[in-house]
Amino acid sequence: MKLAEGAGGRSIVIDNRGVRAVLAPLDRFPAARNPEGNGLSAHPLGSAQKDLGDLVALAAQGQPQVLKRYTTPVAVLLPVHGPITSTPSHPAAQDAVSAGGAVNSQTGPNP
């Protein structure tokens, strides 16, 4: 979680028995900064840890899952797509996929 938080955060692919999602910093999916206003599911870190498998599955299906520390969003689970083969179900996720900035695992610094 700490790797995805903050301004220098990076994306991490989480694989749960073949179901994959990206744990990404908020700057990769700005709609997650205001989950309630954008109709996104949000979860406190404590409950997210015990329900991580379910949250990864939901994110993989195109339903972004915002993770919060207390009341502050700190990261988001997003679907993983190489070439985009399906459209995420949440409109904000569709915008991010169209922009190409939210679903690719970050492996190094962006130019």
Percentage of the chain with pLDDT > 70?
Answer: 66
How far apart, in whole angstroms, are the C-alpha atoms of residue 43 and residue 94? 21
Structure tokens belonging to residue 77: 């689970």
The 10s digit of each residue's pLDDT in 41-100 is: 999 998 888 999 999 999 999 999 999 999 999 999 999 874 333 444 555 555 544 433
As a whole number, mean pLDDT of residues 19-43 equals 92
| pLDDT for residue 62 | 92
Q: C-alpha distances in angstroms, 91 versus 19, 55, 74, 95?
A: 22, 18, 21, 6
Written as six digits, the tokens of 87 are 């459209």
Domain definitions of the chain by residue range: 12-81+89-95
Whole-prediction pTM: 0.70
* Rounded CA separation 79/106 (Å): 14
